[in-house]
Amino acid sequence: MRTTLAAAALGLAATAGWLTARHTYRTRLADARHSATHDPLTGALNRAGLLADADRLIDAAARERRPVVVALVDLVGFKAVNDRHGHDAGDHILTTIAARLAGIAGPAGLASRLGGDEFAIVTTGPAPRLADADVWLAGWLPHIHARLTTPVTHHGQPLAVGATIGAALADPGQPIGVWLSTADRAMYAAREQRTTTAVAAPADQTPASRPGVRVRDLARPTSRLAAVRLAA
């Protein structure tokens, strides 16, 4: 009897140990996957995470006949604020911008910090028809620009940064990398032309027009928006 009870106890202990080890392994695996796809400072997706999920979002929206915007955001004046007020203030700005972008993207959209002070979002719009997408995009870009450039409060002090935004209407005919490149060209075209809107080159054109040396943090009262209208 004692031998049977001892064997049963050992069996239960072994099972409990196996279950604990499996739980620990799954937890570590989930943590590793999260670290590989998320920015450690802001908690937003990193570039790898965005590339992994964006195509599925674009495909799903296309099946529902809903427009998808891919937008790049480059902060203006961030380095000056970071240098003057310190890295804690800079980190607070970055985490606040990431949170605002997550709110803009919505629960079905994607918000990403690509690196430094560059961000991206991929999300669907409220336009019920693809034919209305241009109108929606034209009104949406100034809206998100206003939200992103609202001063950030840090220790009771308002800290202001600008933003340059380039956007593309995406479809499943090309992978997300193409739409990111298109939005990138739009963003840099807006900076070079110093206009509130700019039209990027077609998505299949090599993005050779992007400047090799970035002109950063130019003194100006506002930042630039670039809207891309793709051919039907």
Tens place of pLDDT per residue across the chain (232 aa): 566 656 665 566 566 665 565 555 454 544 456 568 999 999 999 999 999 999 999 999 988 888 899 999 999 899 999 999 999 999 999 999 999 999 999 998 999 999 999 999 999 977 666 677 877 777 888 888 899 999 999 999 999 998 889 898 888 989 999 999 999 888 887 777 665 444 344 444 444 444 433 444 343 334 444 444 333 3
Shared domain for 212 and 157, answered yes or no, is yes
Predicted confidence at residue 6, as pLDDT, reads 62
Residues 25 and 63 in one domain: no
| DSSP element (H, E) containing 95 | helix 87-105
pLDDT score at 202: 43
- The reported pLDDT for the residue numbered 207 is 42
Same domain, 24 and 132: no
DSSP code of 131?
G
Q: Are residues 24 and 114 in the same domain?
A: no
Beta bridge partners of residue 225, listed in sequence order:
165
Tell whether 16 and 78 lie within a shared domain: no
Same domain, residue pair 31 and 48: no
Going by C-alpha positions, the residue among 62, 145, 59, 139 that lies closest to residue 101 is 145
Domain count for the chain? 2
For residue 80, what are the contacts with CB-CB under 8 A and spacing of at least 6?
217
CATH of the domain at 198: 3.30.70.270
CA pair distance 175, 220, nearest whole angstrom: 35
The reply to whether 22 and 104 lie within a common domain is no
Q: How many whole angstroms separate alpha carbon 96 and alpha carbon 149?
A: 11
| CA pseudo-torsion sign 190, 195, 196, 202 | negative
pTM confidence score: 0.76
| Active site positions, annotated | 117
User: Looking at the chain, how many residues does it have?
Assistant: 232
Pair 182, 134 in one domain: yes
Residue 83 belongs to domain spanning: 42-228
**Residue 87: count of CB within 10 angstroms of its CB:** 9
45 Ramachandran zone, left/alpha/beta (phi>0; psi -120 to 50): beta
- Which pLDDT score, from 0 to 100, does residue 9 have? 57
Residues 14, 20: Cα–Cα separation, whole Å: 10
Q: Give yes or no: residues 122 and 94 share one domain.
A: yes
Residues 158 and 55 in one domain: yes
78 and 5 within one domain: no
Burial of 127 from C-beta contacts in 10 A (0-12 / 13-18 / 19+): middle
Q: Are residues 9 and 73 in the same domain?
A: no
